[in-house]
Amino acid sequence: MMRRMGMFDTIHASKPLICPGCGAEIRSLQTKEFDSVMAHIKLGSVVSGSSVMTGIVKDSLWCEACFKAGKPSDSPVYLVIWHSVLAGVEQDLAKAEARLSAVDRLDLIGWLDEAQRDALRWQQRYWHLYRDVSRWHQHLTHPPEADEPGENAARQRAFRRIFSLSDEILQSPDPLAAILAANKHDDEDAQN
Ligand SMILES: [Zn+2]
């Protein structure tokens, strides 16, 4: 697999790793052991580009706190790969070996469950954004002011309100920015 200069993937540990140099908690690490396509990887993620299908990959753990303190430290970290799935991140080789031999069906079910929840969350986010943008488009192409007067107009307006954007968005000075803000998710996904 071709590696690009300066690119890496980020692994998010399920439990914080501890820097042996200063004791700082490290929640994620960058690795060049896989495809290095700026992917976010967590336990249960299929990793591609690894030279190891099932086994342990030794990598190094970089500590920002130590770096800032002017004494850069790297310590070993072991990536447990099981049939191309990241099954563990350990700082102790014996623990990594134990983890590798203990992967079982319950782990698979747990990862599957999480992956499905993740997929559902993204679907919901997509539809929410799509719905808001569609309603904004509708608002621009058929502004309420353009409603023809008539006995049904009030009822039609009332009906349309059910499917329109909230007043908060419509009355905001920049409705599109308000839509973007309402649909922004500070990326907790990658970390979880
Ligand atoms: Zn440190």
Per-residue pLDDT, 83: 95
Nearest alpha carbon to residue 28 among 151, 150, 187, 192: 192
pTM: 0.76
C-alpha of residue 67 to centroid of ligand 1, in Å: 7
The residue ranges of DSSP E strands in 37-181, in sequence order, are 40-41, 55-62, 74-82, 85-90
- Tell me how far apart the alpha carbons of residues 29 and 9 are, in angstroms, rounded to a whole number: 8
**Degrees to nearest 5, angle at CA 15 with 72 and 24:** 30
Mean pLDDT of 157-175: 83
Mean pLDDT of 61-71: 91
C-alpha of residue 172 to centroid of ligand 1, in Å: 46
Q: Which amino acid is at 147?
A: D
Q: Tell me the per-residue pLDDT of 115-157, one tens digit each, with 9 for 90 and over.
A: 999 999 999 999 999 999 999 998 888 877 666 666 677 777 7
C-alpha of residue 83 to centroid of ligand 1, in Å: 32
C-alpha of residue 69 to centroid of ligand 1, in Å: 9
